[in-house]
Chains A and B, each alone.
Chain A
Amino acid sequence: MALLEVENLQTHFRTPDGGVNRAVDGLSFSVEAGETVAIVGESGCGKSVTSMSILRLIPEPPGQLAGSIRFQGKDLLKLTEREMRAIRGNEISMIFQEPMTSLNPVLSIGQQIGEALRLHQGLSKQQAEAKAVEMLTLVGIPAPDKRVKEYPHQLSGGMRQRVMIAIALACNPKLLIADEPTTALDVTIQAQILDLMRDLKHRVGAAIVLITHDLGVVAEVAERVIVMYAGRKVEEANVADLFRNPRHPYTQGLLGAVPKLGSSLEGETERLAEIPGLVPSLKQKIQGCVFASRCPKVTELCREVAPALEEKAPRHVAACHYAEREAIAA
């Protein structure tokens, strides 16, 4: 049994004018214990909504969830709010994109790290603060016993993200969801935070769901990759397979958009490829393939029939009628 099994997740929102935004529409994937899975895609493809849905942080209304999210066999969508709270920050925790705004400006660092510990492990105020100092040391913040009494505005962006990681890991979660953890940071800081995450992953042993649009980060950290487009999974494979042999035209486009070292030496000047067109509006039901409007290989069939996710190679699935298929021993 996988640690996390998401099946046919649909997260829809009521728009102010009465319509329906199908932010995530029929997403399935699973995460094994200790594994690092990346979810990639352009902004607006439903990555963040997926991560928020797993912790049920989507406000309902205007949102509504359907499908199932089984964590250690329990369907999170069937839990009460109280049961869900016992899981948040304890067994599943989350790191957000914006370290500048994700920490409460009026509470001290110690209070914010200690909160989860006091909630889930029943620590006293003093114990929680002592553990908070320990956590700050773990994430590499110098002078932790001084920092613990400070407020977020006194820390730099990289420091704040370290604090966020400390908060997320305080209760030794089994699953850590990191939503664009390095996007808002400087490049040098990005590398530090990624190193830290990799290092801590080995020590804590948590599975990680990494949400990102940065394929460089994926290549460095992830073991398996899920490519999302317009609220759906269009491809999934091991990181090496995906980079070596992407099957879905969208993934091919995404990879084409990554600058490759040395490629310009091969004669033709390689431009940063970009995928023409825009992500389709999720407010209308899409008939056919979601990528049809931007796909270079689109045919009549694509516009009419939505392709199913098929195993195109061992442990490599893609949703495309025309994706290359290797012979799979049946």
Chain B
Amino acid sequence: MSSTTAPLAGRAALTAKDVAAAAPLPDVMQPKTRRKGAIGYMLRHPTIAIGGFLLLIIFAIAIFAPFLWTKDPTALAPVMRTRNPSAAAWFGTDMLGRDVYSRVLYGTRVSLMVGFGVAFFASVIGLAIGLVSGFVRWADSIIMRIMDGLMSIPSILLAIALMALTRGSVGNVILAITIAEIPRVSRLVRGVVLSLREQPYVDAAIASGTSTPVIIWRHILPNTLAPMTVQATYICAAAMLIEAGLSFIGAGTPPIIPSWGNIMAEGRALWQVKPYIVFFPAIFLSITVLAVNLLGDGLRDSLDPRAAKRV
């Protein structure tokens, strides 16, 4: 191969006339600029913004229910039975003359309590079980068989079976749904633990004698936090739906407590003539669950992009 070093004519010799400039190329598309900061984030994750906003309002309703022109949600008024919505009773009254508006607003408290209560307890207990399962070999197969068994009982049925034994109370409803939801969390945590144990840096930490609590604190918890948060929002949404379902069929909170499921259960007999009794709690329940689900989807997209691809 011959030397190909071009005999440079020298810069001076290259006059503008000699230079063959390439023709400029047209633009096929224009670049778009992306908004930065909080507003940009909200625009890219609209579900977090919408879900969070709705949930904020719902929390405000729950907290300030007594101040939002409500009456005593349990006060009976036999003369005022099954009145249609009017200026006096915005959402009408039920069969016993109770104010549906007040009952629906107070019902927010029950739903949030059940939703967030179950999400919290199921996460904590599920985390503990998942950790034991992931770290203690001999316990793993036993625990996972139990979890498989629990998961093959549809959660509403499991909650129904548990509720049939106990007296209806908000606490028992939370307990029953929590038991039904624990397997989901513990499987998730176990999965994370098992996959992390394969990682060289965790393996090295174990081999060098780092104690299990330290490994959990340094490696496992930080990695479970994101998927668990996402899971918790879905459990929260599921718990609210299950609570409403349980109350609706008469196996949930005691009828005296104004929960959305109870209000709908009471309106059930009259739904063909007085649909509003069912309608208003239904709207509130749907919007609340929607808000939590939107938040969950948004969190999943932004915290856990890999999982977002899967579902």
**Residues from chain A with Cβ under 8 Å of B28 in the complex:** 10, 12, 20, 22, 64-66
Expressed in whole angstroms, the Cα–Cα distance for A176 and B265 within the complex equals 70
Closest to A305 in B: B21
Give the total of B residues in contact with A, Cβ under 8 Å. 24
Q: Which of A106-140 contact B (CB under 8 A)?
A: none
Which residues of A, 6-26, contact B by the 8 Å Cβ criterion? 8, 10, 12, 14, 17-20, 22, 25-26
| A301/B25 contact (C-beta < 8 A), A17-B34, A245-B4 known | no
Give the contacting residue for A308; candidates B6, B11, B22; CB below 8 A.
Answer: B22
B28-60 interface (Cβ within 8 A of A)? 28-34
B19 at the interface (CB under 8 A from A): yes
**Known contacts A18-B31, A243-B1, A244-B2, A301 near B14 by CB under 8 Å:** yes
Check A324/B22 contact, CB under 8 A, given A12-B28, A18-B32, A20-B31. Answer: no
Q: How far is the CB of A249 from chain B (nearest CB, A)?
A: 9
Interface centre among B11, B22, B34, by most A CB within 10 Å? B22
Query: Assuming the A-B contacts A244-B1, A247-B4, A307-B21, are A301 and B11 also in contact, with contact meaning beta carbons closer than 8 angstroms in the complex?
Result: yes
CA distance A23 to B27 in the complex (A): 13
**Nearest Cβ on chain A to B17's Cβ, whole angstroms:** 12
Cβ contact within 8 Å between A306 and B1: no
Q: Find the A residue at minimum CB distance from B16.
A: A305
Q: How many residues of A contact B (CB 8 A)?
A: 38
A299 neighbours in B (Cβ, 8 Å): 11
Given the complex, which residues of A lie within 8 Å of B29, measured CB to CB? 12, 14, 20, 64
A324 and B20 contact, CB distance less than 8 A: no
A11's closest neighbor in chain B, by CB? Answer: B28
The answer to whether residues A308 and B23 also contact, given A10-B28, A17-B34, A20-B30 and a CB cut-off of 8 A, is yes
Given A245-B2, A324-B7, CB of A310 within 8 Å of CB of B20: yes
Q: What is the CA–CA distance of A102 and B53 in the complex, to the nearest angstrom? A: 46
A window 52-105: CB within 8 A of B: 64-66
Candidates B7, B22, B32; contact of A306 at CB < 8 Å: B22
Please, what's the 1-or-0 string for A312-330, where 1 marks a CB less than 8 Å from any CB in chain B? Answer: 0000000111111000000
Cα A218 to Cα B98 in complex, Å, equals: 87
B19 lies within 8 A of A321 (CB): yes
The answer to whether B22 and A309 have CB atoms under 8 Å apart is yes
Q: Is B87 an interface residue (CB 8 A)?
A: no
Cβ–Cβ < 8 Å partners of A22 in chain B? 28
Interface residue? B8 (CB, 8 A): yes
Task: Check A255 for interface membership: any CB of B closer than 8 A.
Answer: yes
How distant is B277 from chain A, measured CB to nearest CB, in Å?
49
A22 to chain B, nearest CB (A): 8
Report B-chain residues with C-beta under 8 Å of the C-beta of A10: 25-26, 28
A203, CB-defined interface residue at 8 Å: no
CA distance A300 to B21 in the complex (A): 14
A305 lies within 8 A of B19 (CB): yes
Q: Are A246 and B4 in contact (CB under 8 A)?
A: yes
Question: Which single member of B19, B27, B31 contacts A301 (CB below 8 Å)?
Answer: B19
Q: How many angstroms between the C-alpha atoms of A260 and B9 in the bound complex? A: 30
- Smallest CB gap from A290: residue in B: B22
- Give Cα A324 to B34, complex, Å: 46
A8 to B23, CA, bound (A): 10
With contacts A301-B11, A322-B6 taken as known, whether A18 is within 8 angstroms of B33 at the C-beta atoms is: yes
Residue of A nearest to B19 (CB): A305
Residue from A65, A66, A322 in contact with B8 in the complex, judged by beta carbons closer than 8 Å = A322
Chain B residues lying within 8 Å of A309, measured Cβ to Cβ, are 22
Question: A18-B33, A19-B31, A244-B1 given as contacts; is B8 within 8 A of A25 (CB)?
Answer: no
Instruction: Give bound CA distance, A16 to B282, whole Å.
Output: 39
Closest to A15 in B: B31
Judged by a CB distance under 8 angstroms, whether A172 is at the interface is no
> Across the interface, which residues of A come within 8 angstroms of B2, CB to CB?
244-245
- Within 8 Å of chain B (Cβ to Cβ): is A190? no
- State A321–B18 Cα separation when bound (angstroms): 9
Shortest CB-to-CB span from A243 to chain B, Å, is: 7
In the bound complex, residues from chain A placing their C-beta under 8 Å from that of B9 are 322
A18 and chain B: residue at smallest CB distance: B32
CA distance A243 to B20 in the complex (A): 25
A252 interfacial by beta-carbon distance below 8 Å = yes
Q: Indicate if the CB atoms of A252 and B19 lie closer than 8 Å.
A: no
Chain A residues contacting B30 (CB-CB under 8 Å) are 20
What is the bound-complex CA distance between A246 and B5, given in angstroms?
10
**Cβ contact within 8 Å between A319 and B8:** no
CA–CA, A269 and B81, complex, Å: 103
Q: Which of A25, A260, A307 contacts B25 (CB 8 A)?
A: A25
Does A202 have its Cβ within 8 Å of any Cβ on chain B?
Answer: no
| A18-B31, A18-B33 known; A252+B4 contact, CB < 8 A | yes
Residues in A with CB closer than 8 Å to B6 are: 247, 297, 320, 322-324
Q: Which residue of B lies closest to A255 (CB)?
A: B1
Whole-angstrom distance from the CB of A227 to the nearest CB of chain B? 14
Residues from chain B with a CB closer than 8 A to the CB of A17 are 34
Residues of B within 8 A of A301 (CB): 11, 14, 19
CB pair A297–B31 under 8 Å, yes or no, is no
Minimum CB–CB distance for B116 against chain A, Å = 35
* Contact in complex: B14, A321 (CB < 8 Å): yes
CB pair A66 B1 closer than 8 Å: no
Q: Which of A260, A305, A310 has the most chain B CB atoms inside 10 A of its CB?
A: A305
Q: Which 4 pairs, one residue from A and one from B, show the smallest C-beta to C-beta distance?
A: A18-B32, A308-B20, A306-B22, A324-B6
9 contacts between A and B (CB under 8 A): A17-B34, A20-B30, A25-B25, A66-B26, A255-B1, A300-B11, A307-B20, A307-B21, A322-B9
Question: 20 new A-B pairs (CB below 8 Å) besides A18-B32, A307-B21, A308-B23?
Answer: A10-B25, A10-B26, A14-B32, A18-B34, A26-B22, A26-B25, A65-B28, A66-B28, A244-B2, A245-B4, A246-B4, A255-B1, A260-B1, A306-B22, A308-B20, A308-B21, A308-B22, A319-B22, A323-B6, A324-B6
